[in-house]
Amino acid sequence: MIEGVMIDDEGYRKYTPNNSHERASFLSLRAKIYVSATFLASILILVSLQGWIVDDVIKEIKKELGIYERVPVWERSEWPYLTNYSHGFVMEYGDYDLLETDNEWGSTHYFVEFDLPLSEGGSAPNGLVSLAVWLPDVPEGTTVPVIAEFGPYFDEVSVETPSIEVPGTWLGQMIIDQILPHGYAFAQVSVMGTGRSNHCMDLMGNAEQLGVDAAVTWLGTQDWSNGRVAMIGKSYDGSTPWQAATFGNEHLATIVPISGLIGVMELMWKNGSSEARAAIMHNGVYGSYGIDGDQEDIGNMCPDYIIGPGTGVSAYMWGSEFAGTYWEERYFLDRVLENYEGSVYLIQGMHDWNVDPHMAIPVINQLKDVGIEAKGLFGQWDHDYPDRPDYHFDRSGEGRGREAYPEMVRFDWMQDLLEWFDWYLKDFGDEPGLFIEIQSNQGQWRIEERYPPEDMETLSLDLGGALSNVAGGTTTILPNGNFGPIYESEPFIEDVWISGLPRLHIDVSTTTVGGQIYALLEDCSEDGGTCIHIGHAIMDLRYHEGGDQEQAWIPVFETINAKIEFFAMDVQIAAGHTIRLSLASTGEDYLPASTSSVVEVSEGTGSNLILDIIDPDEKLLFNPPRCTHEACLDWINQTA
């Protein structure tokens, strides 16, 4: 940034955030117009060119002056984003202050009434959704779109979150400080059975979905609203946008799910195998929300709350929906693909331990296939937002994202959000690129039109051949433990870049109709002494063909081919390194199989590790704005 005299623009409304040093620093840095000798000299140069001005000259002058213009992602490393704070910032001020209200946070609280079917029990038929709204101070008669976060964490003492009238420190305050001044409203909404919303904690069931839809309609029909609503959030708050999209609500213009759920069962079961938390997710984790010991607690006694624990146990025992429609009711993607007419900006951490990346991959391609305008941002972070350098460092480890740090930190994300909302909520600006920004485990970002990409080369490594049995001593996978064969490739003679969804198609026989296989993939250094996690997969063999239908076979006498799909990965293997495949009966946070069985692996051409390979020379690679936060610099200096 060049030095110059900072001159106030009379039309500019200075906004002072809530005593935040970071936000105040940002505002003081971006709030002024720079006038300098360099600027005047630049004008003279432009005049002297007499019409020969080219875009590159203008761009360089703007860059020198710190004047932001919208640029494609592959050029952003050259622009002066703020990269030394604890999160990202937009590049330009908005024109509006936050509208003052009766409380110190500038919010107004409302209840939204809607009809609940009597079959939902509890508070039916009188549904009541609690929400708070923040508005920009715009001229009278001006309408604005609204960005909303829906979730269970507002007003809940058990998770130490404040009243719903107080903006969430994880995302809400950032939107109010940076995006609201550009002419947007913001809302926080408590889902049913949480905060001051009545009824039971329905864990994404029908009552919750209906409440979400009612709140979207309310936000889109207020006299200050332009009729367009966006939903954004992470984790549970990133799942409610999928719920809203199932209805095809005309007011829902765009959603930004960040590590959200396309379905509840899909969160906790993969290929029929169950996570440890699955049986207790409804009542054990969220059941106490909305229960505070007063007479209104009777409204929390709903059918699904009562049957919730049993459905978790039955799914573990039998692998699927044993009775009723509990899980079917909580699966969103099919209805989204059928009904939704808005856009999707899908964000996912490739090392998310909480919401695995199969919630986004290959979902992004399914959205595109039905004509939904969709963009993806898939980085090597954990259960996080894309722009949090401290969290990214603290929550990553060797083989779990650390190799991609600090390039994983996306300080251009808030500006990216503003441009996305401008286009889909205001018809303003440039149309966003509807591609996928994907980062490899070694930190390299690139652009893909789809993910997994199309037209990749396939590398197949057979067990006992290209993958030699190097340890474990046997082809037997013993039940309920980390005991099984280990295979390893020869050193690669050139760099290999694995992308998408690797598969393990493996011939096995079992002693019972059951059993489970956990597969761990590692990248091992040339000396074999250091191996890092690059991916894993798990399968209950009752679902060996894939999908959600159980298959039967004759144990001992019949061989089956288990078609195991790994969680999505994007991995660079260096020349001279090997790939190691370890097989066991369970791993990560998955439970041992409920159908215990010894599993015998058949080596040979029927058992293959199938990898999809990209050619980086055919891809558009790019670097994001460089992180200059203290955590990033410390790590760079440490590893230099």
We report the CATH number of the domain holding residue 543 as 2.60.120.260
If you write DSSP's letter for every residue of 527-586 in order, what string do you get?
TSS-EEEEEEEEEEGGGTTSSS------TTT--EEEEEEPPPEEEEE-TT-EEEEEEES-
Closest among 460, 464, 461 to 474, alpha carbons compared:
464
- What share of the chain has pLDDT > 70, as a percent? 82
Arithmetic mean of pLDDT, 21-38: 37
- pLDDT tens for each residue of 324-375: 788 899 999 999 999 999 999 999 999 998 999 999 999 999 999 999 999 9
Residue 28 inside a domain? The answer is: yes
**Alpha carbon of residue 54 to chain centroid:** 39
**Alpha carbon of residue 126 to chain centroid:** 34
Residue 228 inside a domain? The answer is: no
Residue 509 inside a domain? The answer is: yes
For the record, the structure tokens of 547 come out as 């999908």
Q: Rounded distance, CA 220 to CA 384, Å?
A: 29
- For position 483, what pLDDT does the model report? 80
Q: Rounded distance, CA 26 to CA 348, Å?
A: 27
Q: Rounded distance, CA 496 to CA 493, Å?
A: 9
For the record, the structure tokens of 596 come out as 């215990």
Collapsing DSSP to helix, strand or coil, 463 comes out as strand
pLDDT at 276 over 70: yes
Question: 227: which strand partners?
Answer: none
Element (H, E) at 177: helix 172-178
Count how many domains the chain has. Answer: 2
Closest among 403, 332, 396, 327 to 366, alpha carbons compared:
332
At residue 288 the predicted structure's pLDDT band, cuts being 50, 70 and 90, is: low
Residues in Cβ contact with 181 at an 8 Å cutoff, skipping those fewer than 6 apart: 13, 15, 93, 94, 95, 96, 97, 98, 136
- Provide the residue type at 550 as one letter: E
Closest among 467, 484, 483 to 475, alpha carbons compared:
484
- For position 278, what pLDDT does the model report? 73
Provide the Cα torsion 270, 273, 277, 282; round to 10°: 70
- For position 50, what pLDDT does the model report? 45
- For position 345, what pLDDT does the model report? 98
Whether the full predicted model's pTM is greater than 0.75, yes or no, is yes
Question: 609: which strand partners?
Answer: 461, 504
- pLDDT tens for each residue of 108-162: 999 999 999 999 988 899 999 999 999 999 999 999 999 999 999 998 765 556 7
In this structure, the strands spanning 457-463 and 604-613 are antiparallel
- What share of the chain has pLDDT > 90, as a percent? 67
pLDDT at 481 over 60: yes
Residue 466 inside a domain? The answer is: yes
- Provide the residue type at 240 as one letter: T
pLDDT at 301 over 80: no
Q: State the residue for tokens 């959704």.
A: 129
- pLDDT tens for each residue of 423-462: 999 999 999 999 999 999 999 999 999 999 999 999 999 9
- For position 68, what pLDDT does the model report? 56
- For position 509, what pLDDT does the model report? 95
Residue 17 inside a domain? The answer is: yes
pLDDT at 171 over 60: yes
Q: Rounded distance, CA 541 to CA 419, Å?
A: 46
Residue 480 inside a domain? The answer is: yes
Whether 600 contacts 510, CB under 8 Å: yes
Whether 475 contacts 603, CB under 8 Å: yes
> Is the dihedral angle over the CA atoms 281, 285, 287, 290 positive or is it negative?
negative
Which of 46, 67, 88 finishes a domain? 67
- For position 42, what pLDDT does the model report? 47
- pLDDT tens for each residue of 598-632: 999 999 999 999 999 999 999 999 999 999 999 99
Residue 33, domain extent: 5-67
Arithmetic mean of pLDDT, 573-595: 92
In this structure, the strands spanning 225-234 and 144-151 are parallel
Rounded (10°) angle between helices 37-48 and 55-65: 170
Q: State the residue for tokens 């099919």.
A: 334
Q: What is the mean pLDDT of the chain?
A: 86
- For position 313, what pLDDT does the model report? 72
pLDDT at 10 over 60: no
- For position 398, what pLDDT does the model report? 92
- For position 293, what pLDDT does the model report? 57
Longest dimension (CA), the chain: 87
Whether 216 contacts 244, CB under 8 Å: yes
Which of 18, 39, 67 finishes a domain? 67
Closest among 381, 300, 459, 435 to 627, alpha carbons compared:
381
In this structure, the strands spanning 374-379 and 343-349 are parallel
- For position 309, what pLDDT does the model report? 66
- For position 9, what pLDDT does the model report? 33
pLDDT at 38 over 50: no
Q: State the residue for tokens 């404040």.
A: 162
